[in-house]
Amino acid sequence: MSNDLFAVKELIQYNTKFVIVSHQSPDGDAIGSSTGLYRILSNLNKTVSIVLPDRPSSVLEPFLEGSDFHFYHENPADCETLLENAEVLFALDFNTSSRVGDSLKPTLDSFKGKKVMIDHHQNPDSFAYVLISDTENTSTCQLVYETIERMELLHAFDVKAAKSIYLGMMTDTGSFRYPSVTSNTHRILTKLLELGVRPFEIHESVFDHNRIDQLQLRGYAISQKLELSDSFPFAFITLSEEELGRFNYQTGDTEGLVNVILSIEGIQVGVLVSEKGGDIKMSFRSKNHYFVNEYAQRYFNGGGHKYAAGGRTKLTLEETVVLLRSTYHEIFKS
């Protein structure tokens, strides 16, 4: 066992109060890794809480059931008390403390106990006492599984933990189809199925609960709002707050829309630009030898992975599109 894993194992062994924190707009990997680790630590008789900056989309909420979870933007005082009292904090599925949002960041930064970061994003900050980083990994969920396995704590797994880990591995790999998927991914999936996970149940609960509004928003975006580049294998969609409102937008409704752009024959880079809560949120996806994380970082205060990145601007939607149109050619420089 490496020194880092030994240190984490000792932290688990010799402490009782744990808090798990993940990123803003928590996705399947954030919810899966948080609830999976929650369950494992609970099975080891630890006191555990999950603190999330805000709510996930409604399809992910059932995965929180049975754990002690708190949303900072709904109940900051409770969350602050939990962080004050915890001895060890696990930071899952984010690489820098700003990913928890401006309001929770100061509390996370000033945490007095030991911080352990488990993450698969590039360029992790060194804000943790122990950093378990694997930027080639499919997901934080898979990395949590591997970490528990290497610490020889697999006996703490049960079907509920396995379902959580499956969730994040599924959502972060586009249902096991991205290049990050390896034989080791499938070896771990086998173990999860042996623990009692029934894959169809998780696929169905995440992907087959669309509202008509949500599907019509998607239809509108593809038929009316898709802009294809004349010179590059590039396309993007913009959605204003007014347009989202027309289809009764709820958190998560545009999930996966950027991947639809990338599924167009010949397209190598896709971007979704949406106006949410006054801010502009960007989602970038790419393929083959085109990478979007550095571009997202340079122009849109973002980052992420080579093939999947995000960003945010305080510009107007129109100004953001002007910036995008005048810079996207840089992604295609060899």
Give contact residues for ligand 5GP (rule: CB under 6 A).
Answer: 121, 283, 302-305, 308-312
304 binds, among Mn ion, ligand 5GP, none (CB under 5 to 8 A by kind): ligand 5GP
Question: What residues between 132 and 151 interact with Mn ion by CB under 5 A?
Answer: 140
270 binds, among Mn ion, ligand 5GP, none (CB under 5 to 8 A by kind): none
Q: Is residue 303 classed as helix, strand or coil in its secondary structure?
A: strand
Tell me if 30 sits within 8 A of 93, measured CB to CB.
yes
What is the spatial order of strands in the sheet that 69-71 belongs to? 69-71, 47-52, 17-21, 88-92, 114-119, 130-133
Tell me if 140 sits within 8 A of 33, measured CB to CB.
yes
119 in contact with Mn ion (CB under 5 A): no
**Other beta carbons less than 10 A from residue 237's beta carbon:** 23
233 binds, among ligand 5GP, Mn ion, none (CB under 5 to 8 A by kind): none
Alpha-carbon distance of 81 to 124, in angstroms, equals 27
β-pairing, 130-133 vs 226-228, is unpaired
Q: Rounded to the nearest 10 degrees, how much is the dihedral formed by the CA atoms of 295, 301, 304, 307?
A: -30
Q: Which of 227, 231, 4 is nearest to 239 (CA)?
A: 227
Which residue, chain included where needed, has tokens 């995440």?
206
- Minimal distance, residue 87 CB to ligand 5GP, in Å: 27
Cβ proximity to ligand 5GP, 35 vs 180, nearer residue: 180
- Minimal distance, residue 18 CB to ligand 5GP, in Å: 23
- Minimal distance, residue 143 CB to ligand 5GP, in Å: 13
302 binds, among ligand 5GP, Mn ion, none (CB under 5 to 8 A by kind): ligand 5GP
Q: Which of 18, 22, 29, 320 binds Mn ion (CB under 5 A)?
A: 29
- Which sign does the torsion angle of CA 56, 117, 101, 75 carry? positive
283 binds, among Mn ion, ligand 5GP, none (CB under 5 to 8 A by kind): ligand 5GP
- Minimal distance, residue 172 CB to Mn ion, in Å: 5
- Minimal distance, residue 218 CB to ligand 5GP, in Å: 16
Cβ proximity to ligand 5GP, 11 vs 269, nearer residue: 269
What is the spatial order of strands in the sheet that 308-313 belongs to? 226-228, 234-239, 269-276, 279-286, 308-313, 303-304
Packing angle between helix 3-14 and helix 140-150, nearest 10 degrees? Answer: 80
Q: Which of 35, 172, 173, 258 binds Mn ion (CB under 5 A)?
A: 172
Closest residue to ligand 5GP, based on beta-carbon distance: 310
- Minimal distance, residue 24 CB to ligand 5GP, in Å: 8
Cβ proximity to Mn ion, 29 vs 275, nearer residue: 29
- Minimal distance, residue 316 CB to Mn ion, in Å: 30
Residue type (1 letter), 298? R
- Minimal distance, residue 170 CB to ligand 5GP, in Å: 14
Cβ proximity to ligand 5GP, 92 vs 165, nearer residue: 92
32 binds, among Mn ion, ligand 5GP, none (CB under 5 to 8 A by kind): none
Distances (CA, A) of 272 to 194, 225, 226: 38, 10, 9
Phi-psi region of 333 (alpha: psi -120 to 50; beta: other; left: phi over 0): beta
Closest residue to Mn ion, based on beta-carbon distance: 29
Quick note: the x/- pattern for Mn ion over 90-109, rule CB under 5 A, is ---x----------------
Q: Which of 243, 247, 272 is nearest to 260 (CA)?
A: 272
Interface positions with Mn ion (CB under 5 A): 29, 93, 140, 172
